[in-house]
Chains A and B, each alone.
Chain A
Amino acid sequence: EAGVTQSPTHLIKTRGQQATLRCSPISGHTSVYWYQQALGLGLQFLLWYDEGEERNRGNFPPRFSGRQFPNYSSELNVNALELEDSALYLCATKPHDRDRWGVNSPLHFGNGTRLTVT
């Protein structure tokens, strides 16, 4: 079974440009989460999509946005890039928890996209 795949692996942009990062979930997974891992800041939650809808958003400015497609893959867009946006961006997926009291499935992570803003 293929794992979570992210593309590109590395991305180099200059300040003010836009970056688009992509994530393909494991087959059968409908929830997609995006995290930013910047040096010294740990993993910061960015966005959560489930069945095409944005379900939750972390404490990031509006220039961080995304969407989820009908096939449950997802894009993360970062507009007006700033130097401090340089980080590893991780995508994670899981099945939808339909049972209210069901077991909380763990997240499965991709290898990430290393974004460098110069």
Chain B
Amino acid sequence: AQKVTQAQTEISVVEKEDVTLDCVYETRDTTYYLFWYKQPPSGELVFLIRRNSFDEQNEISGRYSWNFQKSTSSFNFTITASQVVDSAVYFCALSERNYGGSQGNLIFGKGTKLSVKP
């Protein structure tokens, strides 16, 4: 069965600290996609990154970086030098490719609430 676990419910850091948000997933499929979304207080989910299962290359985008490790079924997200504007709920999500080629729905973790204090 598909499952995404974000064990950290809430994290609080002081500005400029680095913080890592953990994500562990379960899937029976060999082809799947992993995503991270940010949900600020306004409510809208903002897409951050997509990674497919055959690309284990880590990615860096500014202060954000992602570490994908198939061996441990993890897709962790690190914010370097955190800022107050990073305060939000962050969701990790999994999508499998159904037979026939169409993507099924996203399975979300329960989210990690990040609070960055000045």
Contact = CB atoms under 8 A, between A and B. Distances in A.
Interface in A61-118: 88, 90, 92, 94, 96-112, 114
B110 A42 contact: yes
Contact of B102 (A42, A58, A97, A107): A97
B40 to A, nearest CB: 11
Between B46, B103, B109, the greatest number of chain A beta carbons within 10 A of the residue's beta carbon is seen for B103
Contact of B44 (A45, A102, A109): A109
Interface string B100-118: 1111111111110000000
Q: What interface size band does chain A fall in?
A: 20 to 34
A56 B105 contact: yes
A97 B104 CA distance: 11
Given A97-B102, A106-B47, A111 B110 contact: no
Q: What interface size band does chain B fall in?
A: 20 to 34
Interface in B15-46: 33, 35, 37, 42-46
Between A43, A45, A97, A102, the greatest number of chain B beta carbons within 10 A of the residue's beta carbon is seen for A43
Given A55-B102, A58-B105, A106-B50, A43 B44 contact: no
Interface of A: 33, 35, 41-43, 45, 48, 50, 55-56, 58, 88, 90, 92, 94, 96-112, 114
B47 A111 contact: no
B101 A100 contact: yes
A101 B101 contact: yes
B70 interface: no
B78 interface: no
Contact of A45 (B97, B105, B109): B105
A103 to B, nearest CB: 8
Contacts of B42: 111
A107 B101 contact: no
A92 B108 contact: no
14 contacts: A42-B109, A42-B110, A45-B106, A48-B104, A50-B102, A55-B102, A92-B106, A97-B103, A104-B33, A104-B52, A109-B37, A109-B45, A111-B44, A114-B43
A31 to B, nearest CB: 8
Contacts of B103: 94, 97, 104-105
